[in-house]
Homo-oligomer: A and B are copies of this chain.
Amino acid sequence: MNKPNIVILGAGYGGMMTTVKLQKSLNINEATITLVNKNDYHYQSTWLHENAAGTLHHDRTRIPVKDVVNMSKVNFIEDTVVSIKPDEKKVKLENSVLDYDILVLGLGFEAATFGIPGLEEHAFTIGNINSARLIKEHIEYNFAMYHNEKEKNQGRLNIVVGGGGFTGIEFVGELANRIPELCNEYDIDKALVRVINVEGSPSVLPGFDPQLVEYAMNSLESRGVEFITGAMLKECKPDSIVYQKDDKLEEIPTQTTVWAAGVRANSIVEASGFQTNRGKAEVRPDMRAPDYDDVFVIGDCALIMNEETGRPYPPTAQIAIQESGIVAHNVKSLVQGKDELEAFEPKILGTVASLGHTDAIGVVLNQRKIFGWSATVMKKVIDNRYLLKLGGPGLLIRKGKFNIFY
């Protein structure tokens, strides 16, 4: 190849870290690197629930691309990907078309509503900076409205979160911290506010240790969160949600339904003709798409099977960041004409779920369970470690979480 074009789609965890690693490891004469992203900023999608609850400003969550990408080494294009044509080695953007020699596809997730009526129209999702800050504003608006109506509307004070997985639980945890502030701000009796988590499984946080799950539910319930488990959302209306539990239909009046129960890979993966499994490209060990030698897929768009469990690894930031190391290494090998690509081996170092900023649960190396203050500290350590990797100490100082005593 004669100075190949490397095109990286998406500045999420995977795409961003790949870019940062390649700009360090490749000489400017070896390849042209182009990063494409919808916005001129990267954001930490694992922090969005805090922006949505209003406990963290969204500017803490996002990082301008130019702050971590060396613009003299990387071409940055702010545009939206429309489609990929892997046979022609072209990417169609809204405003231009790019040719590539090596593609890194890291276009992330989108919400999946499984055809539940009204969800797409009336429910909010915690998908990006825009949708997260909208939830914050929407809740505040409804609280502000409450005392402006003669007929009090309880639906303005009910917040229903669909899904008791990671995002749903972390979000209700933040809400539990936020509600007292909101009540104070809008002169509302805290006893009137309901935060309700609706989950289809018999328990929340599926896959977590049952002891930790119990700890989490106790912690959240003590701060006013209600759980309705074994309940399937049936319909989302503009001012209520309907769910089924024990063969009975129930309805909760609410102006605010947040859907946190389903994500899927960006639908561009499927639409572009890659061979997929559950909407994702089931990548080879070297992280390349099954059917194209010049396309790497990373993060939530890639599916990697866990041989031990026979189930795919979950789409986490941790895995996307780890993948970037192999992807960057293998891209460099291709550029330098080496045939031997390395295989990716995920190392799950631990998982911590926050329960608001005052509590957390987690499992760290060797299945050690942690909870409470030590888990909140661990969560911040994980977050800060990523910032250090991404942008060095300067970025860590600007965006890191250091207030370990809350």
* A292 contacts B by Cβ under 8 Å: no
Complex Cα distance, B147 from A131, in Å, reads 8
In the complex, per-residue mask of A114-136: 1 if CB is within 8 Å of any chain B CB, else 0: 00000000000000001101101
Q: Does A144 contact B148, Cβ atoms closer than 8 Å?
A: no
- Contact with A134, one of B130, B136, B145 (Cβ below 8 angstroms): B145
Contacts of A134 in B (CB 8 A): 141, 144-145, 148
* Interface residue total, chain A, C-beta cutoff 8 A: 15
- Contact with A137, one of B130, B131, B133, B137 (Cβ below 8 angstroms): B137
Closest Cβ–Cβ distance, residue A157 to chain B (whole Å): 15
Complex Cα distance, B7 from A326, in Å, reads 79
Contacts of A145 in B (CB 8 A): 134, 137
Closest to A124 in B: B148
Complex Cα distance, B147 from A145, in Å, reads 23
Q: Does A141 contact B137, Cβ atoms closer than 8 Å?
A: yes
* A186 contacts B by Cβ under 8 Å: yes
Closest to A143 in B: B137
Contacts of A133 in B (CB 8 A): 144, 186
Complex Cα distance, B62 from A186, in Å, reads 13
Closest Cβ–Cβ distance, residue A40 to chain B (whole Å): 9
Closest to A40 in B: B187
* A140 contacts B by Cβ under 8 Å: yes
Contacts of A137 in B (CB 8 A): 137, 140-141, 144-145
Interface residues of A in 139-197 (CB under 8 A from B): 140-141, 144-145, 147-148, 186-187
* A380 contacts B by Cβ under 8 Å: no
Which A residues contact B (CB, under 8 angstroms)? 130-131, 133-134, 136-138, 140-141, 144-145, 147-148, 186-187
Kindly list 13 other residue pairs between chains A and B, CB separation below 8 angstroms, not including A134-B145, A138-B141.
A130-B148, A130-B187, A133-B144, A134-B141, A134-B144, A134-B148, A137-B137, A137-B140, A137-B141, A137-B144, A138-B144, A140-B140, A140-B141
